[in-house]
Chain A
Amino acid sequence: MSAPHSEETLQVTPLHALHIELGAKMVPFAGYDMPVQYKDGVLAEHLHTREAAGLFDVSHMGQAWIEGPDFETVARALEALVPGDLLGLAPGAIRYTLLLNDKGGIRDDLMVTRPAEAARANSLFVIVNAACKEADFAHIAANLPAGIVLKPIRDRALIALQGPKAVEVFKRFAPAGADMLFMTAQAMDVAGVPCLVSRSGYTGEDGYEISVPEKDAVSLTKKLLGEAEVKPIGLGARDSLRLEAGLCLYGHDIDETTTPVEGALTWVIGKRRREEANFPGSKIILGQIANGASRKRVGLLPEGKAPAREGTEIVADGKVIGTITSGGYGPTVGGPIAMGYVDTSHAKVGTEVELMVRGKGRPAKVVAMPFTEKRFHKTK
C-alpha cells in the first residue's frame, strides 16, 4: 500500500486536548493539528450529521471585527474589496462573499455579518478560511481607509452544530436560537456563556456556528456533546458533507485564478455592485457576465462506483475539457460525486463526459448541485 505525510510545527485550537480525549485521529490542516475523524469514522459521522446533529471544531478559521465610525462607512470600506452588497445588510444579517484580486480572481471566500446589537452598530464581523487568515487580515487592514480598523479575534473558538436535530439541541441551551432564520446572527447566552451565534453552516443542513470565548469553549462543547443527538464530527465528514451540498472549498474549487463567474458564484455579486462596477476585477468579471466565461464550475456524477479525485482530467470527444477540483464518495448519495471546471460548451446539465481515472475513461454526467437536498430554516 502507498503511504502518508511528514511532520511540521502545528498550531492547536482550544479544543485540541478534548479531540484527543475523544479518540480523534489528528492530521495537519491549514497549519493546525485537527481531527480528521473520531472513533466512528468518516462514513458514520457524515450520516449522523444528516440524520441527527454533528459538532465541528472550526476554531482554526479566522474571526475578526472591522470597526469604524458607523455601519455605512465600514460597509463601504469592505465593499471596495468584495463584490457583495454589504450596505444592504439588515442588522443581524449574514452574507457570503469573496475577497477578489485585481484580475477578478478569488483571494478567499468569507462570511460577513452585520451585528444586530446596538453596541456593535459600527462594526462588521467576518469569518475567513484558516489557510488564508493572516494574508486576508493583512490585505483587508492595508486597504481600509483611515479611521477603520480590522481587529483579529484570537481569544474565541468557533464551533458548528449542524444537522436536522441541531435546533432541538441548541434551544435547550439558548431558547432564542430556535427563532433565528438561516443566514442571521445574534449575540446570546448559550448555557450561560456569552456567544455570537450564526444560523449558518457548511454541510447543507440547518444549524449554528457559535463564536465562544476560548476559556468557555471546552465546557460548552462538552455540554453540547452530552446531548443524545450530538456526536463530534471531523474534517473528513465536513468535506464530504460540503461536497454533497455543492459548496466550494477554497484553494481547491476556487482560488486566485478563478473568477466568481467561472466558479458559478455570480449570484454573490449584488445588483447595485454590478451597476456601480467598483469592486476589484469588476471590468473582467462584468465582461464575463455579459459575454460568458470560457469555463465553468459544474457538478459531476460518475456513472460507475469509482471515485474521481481532485486533479482528475475531464474528457469529451477525445479532448481534455476540464479538471476535477473536488471529488470523492458521497455517503448520503451512496456513490461517487465530484465538482470541477469544464469548457462552457460542455457545462450544460446532462452533458456526457469521461473522467480519466488511472488512465481509463469512465463515463460521467454534468449535473445540477447540490447532490443532496438542502434543509435550511428560511421561514417560520
Chain B
Amino acid sequence: MSEIRFTDQHEWVRVEGDVATVGITDYAQEQLGDVVYVELPEVGKTIAQGDEAAVVESVKAASEVYAPVSGEVVEVNGDLEAAPGGVNEDAMGKGWFVKLKLSDKSELSKLMDEDAYKSFVEGLA
C-alpha cells in the first residue's frame, strides 16, 4: 500500500515502505509552464523537511522544489536531465524528481491528503 501526501508549496510525496518519492503536482507544472531544466541533488545527500531538494526551471522562471519530508537521497530521476518536459507530461508519475529514505515518518502527518490538497488548490483560483 502506498500513500500520497501534498505540501502547500505544491510538492507531492508518495511513500512505499520507508522510501518517499517526491515530485511537483500537476497544478504546479501547469503554473510553471514548459519545463526546460531540472537540477537534482546528489545521491547520498541528506535533506531536511522544507529544505531545497531540487530546482525546476521553466521558460519563465526558476523555482525550488522543497523536500516534503526529511531523508537521505537514494535515487534521482536522471531521465529529466535529458527530457525535462517529462515534468509537464506526467508530473504525478514519470516526472518525479527524487527518492528519499524517510528518517521520520511522523512528518507525513503534517502534510495534506489528496482531498485536502484538492480543496486547497480550488481555494487558490
Interface residues of A (CB under 8 A from B): 1-4, 36-37, 41-44, 46, 236, 240, 305-307, 309, 328-329, 331, 336, 358
A6 to B59 Cα, complex, angstroms: 21
Residues of A within 8 A of B75 (CB): none
Is B14 an interface residue, CB under 8 A from the partner?
no
Q: Given known contacts A306-B57, A309-B62, what 9 new A-B pairs fall within 8 Å (CB)?
A: A1-B11, A1-B66, A2-B63, A36-B60, A46-B59, A305-B36, A307-B37, A329-B36, A358-B39
Q: Quick check: A329 and B9 within 8 Å, CB to CB? A: no
Q: Quick check: A305 and B81 within 8 Å, CB to CB? A: yes
Min distance, Cβ B78 to any Cβ of chain A, angstroms: 13
Q: Quick check: A1 and B64 within 8 Å, CB to CB? A: yes
Known: A236-B59, A358-B39. A1 touches B10 (CB 8 A): yes
Q: List 18 A-B contacts (CB under 8 A).
A: A1-B11, A1-B32, A1-B63, A1-B66, A2-B63, A2-B64, A36-B60, A41-B33, A41-B34, A42-B58, A43-B59, A236-B60, A305-B81, A306-B39, A306-B57, A307-B62, A329-B59, A336-B37
Residues of A within 8 A of B61 (CB): 309
A236 to B58 Cα, complex, angstroms: 11
Q: Mask for B86-119, Cβ within 8 A of A = 1, else 0?
A: 0000000000000000000000000000000000
B36 is contacted by which of A4, A36, A44, A307 (Cβ under 8 Å)? A307
Known: A236-B59, A240-B59. A43 touches B34 (CB 8 A): yes
A46 to B31 Cα, complex, angstroms: 18
A37 to B62 Cα, complex, angstroms: 17
The residue of chain A having its C-beta at the shortest distance from the C-beta of B25 within the complex is A1
Q: Quick check: A331 and B59 within 8 Å, CB to CB? A: yes
Name the 6 nearest CB pairs between A and B, nearest first.
A43-B34, A329-B36, A42-B59, A1-B9, A1-B10, A1-B63
Q: Quick check: B59 and A306 within 8 Å, CB to CB? A: no
A358 to B28 Cα, complex, angstroms: 21
Residues of B within 8 A of A36 (CB): 60
Q: How many residue pairs, one in A and one in B, have C-beta atoms under 8 Å apart?
A: 57
The residue of chain B having its C-beta at the shortest distance from the C-beta of A36 within the complex is B60
A240 to B56 Cα, complex, angstroms: 18
Within 8 A of A (CB), among B10-34: 10-11, 24, 28, 31-34
Q: Quick check: B9 and A2 within 8 Å, CB to CB? A: yes
Is B65 an interface residue, CB under 8 A from the partner?
yes
A133 to B28 Cα, complex, angstroms: 35
Within 8 A of A (CB), among B26-58: 28, 31-34, 36-37, 39, 55-58
A169 to B45 Cα, complex, angstroms: 56
A236 to B36 Cα, complex, angstroms: 14
Min distance, Cβ A177 to any Cβ of chain B, angstroms: 31
A45 to B10 Cα, complex, angstroms: 26
A42 is contacted by which of B9, B24, B34, B55 (Cβ under 8 Å)? B34
A220 to B9 Cα, complex, angstroms: 42
A328 to B58 Cα, complex, angstroms: 9
A305 to B40 Cα, complex, angstroms: 13
The residue of chain A having its C-beta at the shortest distance from the C-beta of B64 within the complex is A2
Min distance, Cβ B108 to any Cβ of chain A, angstroms: 19
Residues of B within 8 A of A305 (CB): 36-37, 81
Residues of A within 8 A of B64 (CB): 1-2
A307 is contacted by which of B24, B28, B31, B57 (Cβ under 8 Å)? B57
Known: A41-B34, A307-B36, A307-B37. A1 touches B24 (CB 8 A): yes
A45 to B66 Cα, complex, angstroms: 30
Residues of B within 8 A of A328 (CB): 59
Residues of B within 8 A of A3 (CB): 9
Q: Quick check: A236 and B37 within 8 Å, CB to CB? A: no
A336 to B55 Cα, complex, angstroms: 15
The residue of chain A having its C-beta at the shortest distance from the C-beta of B88 within the complex is A41
Residues of B within 8 A of A41 (CB): 33-34, 59
Residues of A within 8 A of B39 (CB): 306, 358
A328 to B37 Cα, complex, angstroms: 10
A44 to B34 Cα, complex, angstroms: 9
A69 to B16 Cα, complex, angstroms: 81
The residue of chain B having its C-beta at the shortest distance from the C-beta of A309 within the complex is B62
Known: A1-B28, A305-B81, A358-B39. A236 touches B9 (CB 8 A): no
Residues of A within 8 A of B55 (CB): 358
Min distance, Cβ A375 to any Cβ of chain B, angstroms: 22
A307 to B60 Cα, complex, angstroms: 10
A217 to B86 Cα, complex, angstroms: 39
